Amino acid sequence: MHTREACLAADRQDPLAALKHQFDLPPGVIYLDGNSLGVLPKAARARSAEVIDQEWGVGLIRSWNTASWFDLPARLGDKLSRLIGANDGEVVVTDTTSLNLFKSLAAALRIQQQDHPERRVIVSERDNFPTDLYMIQGMIDLLQQGYQLRLIDDATPLEAALGDDVAVLLLSHVNYRTGYLYDMAATTALAHRHGILTLWDLAHAAGAVPVDLNGAEADFAVGCTYKYLNGGPGSPAFIWVAARHQDRFWQPLSGWWGHQRPFAMATDYQPASGIRRFLCGTQPIVSMSLIECGLDVALQADMTAVRDKSLALTDLFIELVEQRCADHPLTLVTPREHARRGSHVSFSHPQGFAVMQALIARGVIGDYREPEVLRFGVTPLYLGYADIWDAVDTLKDILDSGSWDRPEFHQRASVT
């Protein structure tokens, strides 16, 4: 596709093209940041009015039963399970990804403590999303039981990091910065050969790439609903545990929602059977209810078609940047190999921050990640081929003209 016309023709052939009409996209914007915050499903507007006016305003306390608020974490979990190769009763939507990491890490460590108490190393990746590392560090600091964090990096490849001293391997299925995609089945099998339990962070994978947790025989997983699943800003996260661990898992954030009989008001904690014991406290019902609108759109799309389009769009993005911006110091960060690529494309540029600000000012919204990385999320549910063309066209113009080099584009907000 070397012309905009060819892109438009591809859009006309796109079997997923109609889905974008189920979202409200802001005018004048090409949104390449759906891997940070997904867009607004049109259905969310009516759903929020229903939850606020009727369920809260009129139903009030009765809505815990009549509007099934109590069931939301498990009901949304069942819907979400279809997108990640899980079964009904294996997923709940609740809390945040960071907190769910803490719960599942505690559960995995407890299983290992019982079976292999000598294993005191948690392996993760130096380039993992920082909160994953921070939560591990917090757990180690809290336990004071001699646990250590070992990081995979250039000096320590995955194979070298895994040994008989390792309890848990915690990886992101898709790397937040590079877009690198792990082979979940092969990596899990490798970990299992070493007696190691796996904990997968699906933040940049759920809804973005095919995920088959049960097929991969994974142990634990957590993830995010506000990126590719379009659940809304900060919408609650999810947590999955393999059925074979359901009778054994234990987690320390043992609030009343995870109790077998939350309203018996018993003095002692008795965990609910199944995945519900991963619940802790009362959930933010308005934010949580809106997740269903995004899930319902995602469930209309065949994941094979989503993956095909994602690869076609990321291929196109890479190809156009390399052809049309060849004179500029852009370096591809994302793997070229399809099997190793998630659904976003990253290029580094020495002035990445300013270039991204210039793009955003022109309505091409991607984001910037330290160091020097321009990150472009590719979301097949609402992006087309011509969008990619236009985005690269704008990038080319900004780079050719040098218009990124203005004072306002170098200015960093307090939080960026």
Binding residues for pyridoxal 5'-phosphate: 97-98, 129-132, 201, 204, 226, 256, 282
71 a catalytic residue: no
Which CB, 1 or 32, lies closer to its own copies?
Answer: 32
Contact region with its own copies (CB under 8 A), list: 165-173, 207-215, 287-295, 389-397 = 287-295
* Dist CA 172 CA 169 (whole Å): 10
**Interface with its own copies includes 160 (CB under 8 A)?**
no
Catalytic choice (23, 129, 238, 249): 129
Question: What's the closest the beta carbon of residue 272 comes to its own copies, in angstroms?
Answer: 11
Question: Is 249 assigned a catalytic role?
Answer: no
Residue among 28 and 407 whose Cβ is closer to its own copies: 28
Strand partners, 40: 24
Backbone phi, psi, residue 236, to 5°: -55, 155
Residue 174 to residue 229: CA distance in whole angstroms: 15
In the residue annotation, 238 being an active-site residue is answered as no
Q: Is 278 a catalytic residue?
A: no
Query: Using the rule CB under 8 A, is 117 a contact of its own copies?
Result: no
Q: Is 227 marked active-site? A: yes
Subset of 11-50 contacting its own copies (CB under 8 A): 24, 26, 29, 31, 33, 36-37, 39-40, 44-45, 48-49
Q: How far is the CB of 397 from its own copies (least distance, A)?
A: 21
Q: How far is the CB of 217 from its own copies (least distance, A)?
A: 27
Closest approach of its own copies to the CB of residue 392, in Å: 20
C-alpha dist (Å) from residue 400 to 49, 330, 366, 396: 47, 13, 19, 6
CA distance 133 to 170: 9
Instruction: Select 264 or 305, whichever has its Cβ closest to its own copies.
Output: 264
Strands 367-369 and 373-377: antiparallel
* Count of residues touching its own copies (by CB under 8 A): 95
Is the Cβ of residue 1 or residue 132 nearer to its own copies in the bound state?
Answer: 132
Return the residue of 15, 117, 252, 402 that touches its own copies, per CB under 8 A. Answer: 252
Per-residue tokens: 151 = 């990081």
List the catalytic residue out of 226, 278, 376, 409: 226
Q: Which is nearer to its own copies, 15 or 255 (CB)?
A: 255
Nearest residue to 295 via CA among 365, 383, 223, 364: 223
- Could you tell me the two tokens for 276? 């519900």
Residues 191-230 that bind its own copies (CB under 8 A): 226
Q: Does 265 bind its own copies (CB under 8 A)?
A: yes
Q: Which of 119, 227, 276, 396 is catalytic?
A: 227
Kindly identify the residues of this chain, within the stretch 126-155, that bind its own copies according to CB under 8 A: 126, 129-131, 133-135, 137-139, 141-145, 151
Using CB under 8 A as the binding rule, the residues of this chain from 325 to 384 that contact its own copies are: 360, 365, 367, 369-370
Closer residue to its own copies, CB minimum distance, 137 or 394? 137
Stretch that binds its own copies, among 238-246, 295-303, 345-353, 407-415 (CB under 8 A): 407-415
What are the residue numbers of the active site? 129, 201, 226-227, 375
